[in-house]
Amino acid sequence: MTKITSLTELKKLRDSLKEKMESYSLLDHPDSIIQVKVAMATCGQASGARPVFDYFKEELEKRNIPAMVTQTGCMSYCYAEPTIEVTIPGKNPVVFGFVNTRKADEIIERYIRKGELPDGVIPVNYETVISQ
Interaction site with another protein (CB under 8 A): 1, 3-7, 10-11, 13-14, 17-18, 20-21, 37, 39, 41-43, 45, 70-79, 85, 124-129, 131-132
- Of 92 and 131, nearer to another protein (C-beta) is 131
User: How far is residue 106's CA from residue 125's CA, in Å, rounded to a whole number?
Assistant: 24
Contact 121, 104 (CB under 8 A): no
71 or 101, CB closer to another protein? 71
Radius of gyration of the chain (CA): 16
Shortest Å, Cβ 15 to another protein: 9
Nearer to another protein, 48 or 109 (CB): 48
101, with CB counted inside 10 A (0-12, 13-18, 19+), is: middle
The residue among 107, 104, 121, 106 whose CA lies nearest residue 50 is 104
Q: Which is nearer to another protein, 93 or 113 (CB)?
A: 93
C-alpha span between 40 and 49 (Å, rounded): 6
Tell me the pairing of strands 94-96 and 84-87: antiparallel
Shortest reach from residue 81's CB to another protein, in Å: 9
Q: Least distance to another protein from the beta carbon of 26, Å?
A: 15
Minimum distance of another protein from residue 114's CB (angstroms): 26
